[in-house]
Structure 1
């Protein structure tokens, strides 16, 4: 297949480039429409009690969206509840709001207990008509916001948020952050590539591949939006992955091409050899990253499934572009790319470093493992939250409404209410009273439905992910009195349980697939096992660092004033997604190094020396690739949405650890300790690898010229 791709690129480079140009134009044009089709999925699990109950309530008693406005003084600490001028403005606004088509209810805050909180704020909730069309609600919402903001004067500020406005803000931030990250990262990546390759043309090829990857990402997501719901974060995450891997694969391919140019002046032959060698590595790397992400499909949560499918498709597109578009560009313009210089000192520092590790593998192994385990320790305190307005930057108006509500309405809980549907509730007054009096309930309301059931709205103390809220869910469910629970905390409980139930299957799919691919690539049983274990160590350390920073608040303020002190929990969707992507990226570098070590062994080097050779000739490529990925991921950390900051930080940390401590030290130490045993496999499997494996010995006459994987 790779040989055919190379021949097509050599014979018809213009055709291949034209096809990808069409993909680029369509992707940037049509794919941009995906931003209007994004939404918040969060911790919903189809078939769970929380989701089934929510769906049932929507049919029996459809809810209505509510947005909230807070009027506060421009002078902090000033009591405004009794200000006559403000009262007149608010009363007039309430009357006007009630006349807006689509508005169902606007209570008078001066006649509603608790609507003025500590006296320093006035709350004005606006509820829309139940079941109103989305377009009509949007029009009504804009009119409501305009009238509410008109209350403001130099003495009084008005902030509007809550309800669908938080989701709208997340969508807007996701779009602007993705564009900003691309504008920042692409010039920096280009500059670094110019330094690496020593020429603008060679440096521009990875960016061409990356831009095609971004366009394809948007197109893939647009297609997926018709088959499944997509999260507001899907564009950022898949763009981050597509951009990073696109540059990664192109770096490897162009580096190999320059080295082939030093061996032969024939461009077509160079392209063939590049695709045959580096293209094979890219192909298996892409497959490995893809199967790592396919594990997300095992989870039943729509967010994880959609992200797993979309990210897998993006990786496949990047891989396809690397073995089709890039060879076509090299065939067309490769004669303008300077050959690599014949420098026998190339990689000598990495070789000496690897030799030092190989001489003392056990101390290195113990120190690195102990360090990674220590960094991973905070994982034991991991807490998950379905997310709220705190995930928005402090400058966002819905976030300001949340903060002001917490500050000026201390008697109100920051937790969303639980909705308890009790079958036959009309005949169970004692049980309903019991539910309303459960420990931890700070507010309650009750409503009878036409079918004889009852709905209780119970507001627990504490946070959505706190022990009080989740404990109430578990207590009510354990009583078996015909009651079912939904609400944010109930969704979180079900999502956590789904993760626990599906984790063994997801891990099994990923580990088995990776094990098979690495066996076909190396012919060993122990090398795939080593790869999985070392990857888990680096991922554990990355997750521990995320908990330490974003959950516990250490230096979190560096990423935004709204994160100072920490969030108390990570977004529920981030850890499983980060683990899948980080595992795939770790395997990416693993294959880079293993491919070169395997070549050295097949060329006759003994096991320990082959490790040194592999690190020597891949150290520079892996280091450059890691630096480029870190730049890409770090640029996505310039945004304001907390889940993206968590995800970007986790991947940046994972790449740094993986490209330094793991690939340059831990992997050589383990392989040096194992020696020839690292490449052991039973006779039957050796025969299987001989028939279906992909590793090939390099040509001896060219071995000294080729310093790549």
Structure 2
């Protein structure tokens, strides 16, 4: 591989106009497809095969006009009179009537939308329910409870709900201008003394990147790169190539919406990963290029050697990330698969850009690649001429007490992982939104006035087609309703719809707890557990669906898929690392370190996001798919640093050094670059915490913490300590396995590199520095 990449690097350097032009053409071509055929992104989290989806399919059979719960752009405007007043007071009743007229004028409302004052709607609805109950013989007490459970007016008359749906196919079709108009209407009527808020899937626009977080991360990256290279031009190269790669990747994701559904958060996650790895991969090759310029004045040769050696490490580091991201497909969750594949494509582009576009840009710049100096690189040297830097000092410090360092790292990370025992996974809802959002304020009003279960209903679909007598069908629906109402944690259960021929019914079950509460999940399990029994007793088939049921099922599927995912990712990556390091124990230590860092990361994330530690954030459940996605990304990124750092140790060991000497030499050549790369990644990820979107905020935080733990605790402390303890055994590989595994030559043994045979080549350092090459 090193030889192939060596030739690729030299060719790109020599024929830089062709390579640069090819990348520009690719960007224009992909951009043209995106501009001409792109479709809106979606927020669908459905998973074929889960119980709630099967129930939704049954609902579609019995009620063809029903819409997917995730596609309904519902809006629930919650209006509250001041304390001590009610919405029936004449002044506030007139204001609510005017609010309704203004809401009726919103764009994208259906022509037949009927918006009614909640005071009048409550009275009309109660009359209808009580009248129907009298005809059917339902007890008056039950009928009144049913009316209260559906009433748009709170028992004290102070809070009311005005519900409607936008006339769109999916939530993604709601125009930003519509959301703006809704916000303006609510703001206008708040000035009249009412509290007016809104929640529901149609009340908030799609979260979009405004560029602030990326710019902040890039700014920090630029400072780190300037300190690393001491050159403004060199510092700008990793950022330039990374931004180009991310731009191409995001444009490609946009273009793919013409062919498949893409989640609205997919571009954000792809941007997050693409920026981080794009900068890191270019940084690693560029740093190696500067080192090679110490040994030769032939820049084309230096580029070839850099791409052949550091580029090989980049390829394998990128492959581990690709495996981790692409393997998300094995869990059979469509939205997670698209997120993983989109991010994987962005990482692939980052690898290709580092291997081809960077050498081409170096060919364009030639001697100006390290121009714009702000400081000169003048390393201290040991008596034998070797560079003495902080990486060497740290490696030797770890080597004095490797067992103590390893123990401290394991115990420290283990302690941070303790909060993980209280992990609660759920999907973000309006009730877990930021406290200053209208969605959260509306949910709080509803929970206080109507109970937390009002916004977390479950829908039981009853199929009575197996019953011939219409009277028996009605009796069966009543029996199912009574069974549902008798479950613990149910505030109310009632039939809310029947199809025209009476063969199907929908029973609305209102829990006593909210959607994110574990008690609601327990209620769903109880309904499912008793489903077979009530079906046998009534002769019906039933299913439980609705938004709350779907999100709960998705969370459960994610949890069940995690062991499979881990087995696939770790298994494939272990084989890949054996190819790179020609060792069994080095991949084992790498995997152990990853497990420690990811457990500690999840523990800290639970403490900060779920338990609200230090008062930084209001506690709320962890987004259901965050752990599995985090594990995939952290594994890939952890292996980046493992490959970058340990490949230099392996290279030194291959060329005759002992394991102890090789560890020191690996830190001498790579610690500075790995530190810079880690700081850049932490900055890029941490900047995404500023985005007001729970999924992105928690992912940005978790990834930043994960890189902090993995780069500085695991790769910089635990791994060298274990390497010292293992000694020469670290590079043990059974002979039969050595013969079986192909030799990919990551270290570039086959490349002609005279300075490795003759140390006197290093004496050219000062002369080349004086010429301004470094």
TM-score of the superposed pair, with normalisation by structure 1: 0.90
Distance in 2 between residues matched to 1:182 and 1:692, nearest whole Å: 36
Q: Deviations over 1:23-78 (max 9, x none)?
A: 44566776589996222134x321111112223324543146431222345x6x45
Alignment counterpart, residue 308 of structure 1, candidates 336, 340, 350: 340
What is the CA-CA distance between 1:15 and the residue it aligns to?
Answer: 1.6
Kindly indicate whether residue 67 of structure 2 is the aligned counterpart of residue 69 of structure 1: no
Distance in 1 between residues matched to 2:404 and 2:179, nearest whole Å: 64
Alignment counterpart, residue 596 of structure 1, candidates 648, 653, 657: 648
Corresponding residue for 1:125? 162
Query: Which deviates the most, 336-345 or 292-301?
Result: 336-345
Corresponding residue for 2:403? 362
Corresponding residue for 2:111? 102
* Structure 2 portions without partners, runs of 5+: 123-147, 382-386, 465-472, 536-540, 766-774
Distance in 2 between residues matched to 1:221 and 1:103, nearest whole Å: 37
Distance in 2 between residues matched to 1:539 and 1:435, nearest whole Å: 41
Distance in 2 between residues matched to 1:252 and 1:243, nearest whole Å: 14
CA contact (8 A) 1:70 1:122 kept: yes
Distance in 2 between residues matched to 1:414 and 1:35, nearest whole Å: 37
CA contact (8 A) 1:79 1:119 kept: no
What is the CA-CA distance between 1:508 and the residue it aligns to?
Answer: 2.2
Corresponding residue for 1:343? 379
Kindly indicate whether residue 611 of structure 2 is the aligned counterpart of residue 552 of structure 1: yes
Kindly indicate whether residue 382 of structure 2 is the aligned counterpart of residue 382 of structure 1: no
Query: Which deviates the most, 674-683 or 11-20?
Result: 11-20
Question: CA 1:36–1:548 in 2, change beyond 3 Å: closer, same or farther?
Answer: farther
Corresponding residue for 1:41? 44
What is the CA-CA distance between 1:577 and the residue it aligns to?
Answer: 0.9
Alignment counterpart, residue 175 of structure 1, candidates 195, 209, 220: 209
What is the CA-CA distance between 1:500 and the residue it aligns to?
Answer: 4.0
Corresponding residue for 1:416? 456
Distance in 1 between residues matched to 2:174 and 2:322, nearest whole Å: 40
Kindly indicate whether residue 197 of structure 2 is the aligned counterpart of residue 159 of structure 1: yes
Kindly indicate whether residue 747 of structure 2 is the aligned counterpart of residue 695 of structure 1: yes
Q: Deviations over 1:316-358 (max 9, x none)?
A: 0000000010010112213113498463445532222222322
What is the CA-CA distance between 1:18 and the residue it aligns to?
Answer: 1.8
Alignment counterpart, residue 11 of structure 1, candidates 8, 11, 14: 14
Kindly indicate whether residue 725 of structure 2 is the aligned counterpart of residue 673 of structure 1: yes
Kindly indicate whether residue 543 of structure 2 is the aligned counterpart of residue 484 of structure 1: yes
CA contact (8 A) 1:372 1:537 kept: yes
Kindly indicate whether residue 205 of structure 2 is the aligned counterpart of residue 199 of structure 1: no
What is the CA-CA distance between 1:284 and the residue it aligns to?
Answer: 0.9
SS at 1:37's partner residue?
coil
Question: CA 1:670–1:415 in 2, change beyond 3 Å: closer, same or farther?
Answer: farther
Kindly report the root-mean-square deviation, in angstroms, between the aligned alpha carbons of the 2 structures.
2.9
Larger Rg: 2
Distance in 2 between residues matched to 1:573 and 1:102, nearest whole Å: 38
Kindly indicate whether residue 526 of structure 2 is the aligned counterpart of residue 475 of structure 1: yes
Question: CA 1:532–1:415 in 2, change beyond 3 Å: closer, same or farther?
Answer: farther
Distance in 2 between residues matched to 1:370 and 1:441, nearest whole Å: 45
CA contact (8 A) 1:294 1:510 kept: no
CA contact (8 A) 1:597 1:613 kept: yes
Alignment counterpart, residue 626 of structure 1, candidates 655, 673, 678: 678
Query: Which deviates the most, 478-487 or 571-580?
Result: 478-487
Aligned residue pair count: 690
Alignment counterpart, residue 541 of structure 1, candidates 600, 621, 627: 600
SS at 1:438's partner residue?
coil
Distance in 1 between residues matched to 2:166 and 2:646, nearest whole Å: 62
Corresponding residue for 1:89? 95
* Structure 1 portions without partners, runs of 5+: none
What is the CA-CA distance between 1:363 and the residue it aligns to?
Answer: 1.9
Alignment counterpart, residue 462 of structure 1, candidates 485, 510, 513: 513
What is the CA-CA distance between 1:97 and the residue it aligns to?
Answer: 5.4
Corresponding residue for 2:772? none
SS at 1:230's partner residue?
coil
Corresponding residue for 1:402? 443
CA contact (8 A) 2:153 2:161 kept: no
Distance in 2 between residues matched to 1:691 and 1:255, nearest whole Å: 25
After TM superposition, the structure 1 = structure 2 runs for residues 242-641 of structure 1, keeping only pairs within 5 Å, are 242-338=274-370, 341=377, 343-345=379-381, 346=387, 348-390=389-431, 392-407=433-448, 409-413=449-453, 415-424=455-464, 426-428=474-476, 429-446=478-495, 447-449=497-499, 450=501, 452-479=503-530, 480=532, 481=535, 482-555=541-614, 557-558=615-616, 563-564=617-618, 566-567=619-620, 569-641=621-693
Query: Which deviates the most, 234-243 or 126-135?
Result: 126-135
Query: Which deviates the most, 537-546 or 143-152?
Result: 143-152
What is the CA-CA distance between 1:581 and the residue it aligns to?
Answer: 0.6
Question: CA 1:134–1:404 in 2, change beyond 3 Å: closer, same or farther?
Answer: closer
Alignment counterpart, residue 79 of structure 1, candidates 82, 85, 89: 85
What is the CA-CA distance between 1:150 and the residue it aligns to?
Answer: 5.0
What is the CA-CA distance between 1:580 and the residue it aligns to?
Answer: 0.7
Query: Which deviates the most, 426-435 or 658-667?
Result: 426-435
Distance in 2 between residues matched to 1:411 and 1:507, nearest whole Å: 40
Q: Deviations over 1:343-382 (max 9, x none)?
A: 3445532222222322322222122111111111111111
CA contact (8 A) 2:490 2:512 kept: yes
CA contact (8 A) 1:229 1:302 kept: no
Question: CA 1:497–1:69 in 2, change beyond 3 Å: closer, same or farther?
Answer: closer
CA contact (8 A) 1:106 1:124 kept: no
CA contact (8 A) 2:481 2:494 kept: no
What is the CA-CA distance between 1:402 and the residue it aligns to?
Answer: 2.3
Distance in 2 between residues matched to 1:641 and 1:511, nearest whole Å: 30
Distance in 1 between residues matched to 2:524 and 2:311, nearest whole Å: 53
Q: Deviations over 1:430-469 (max 9, x none)?
A: 2321112322111333122346122111121223243322
Distance in 2 between residues matched to 1:640 and 1:647, nearest whole Å: 12
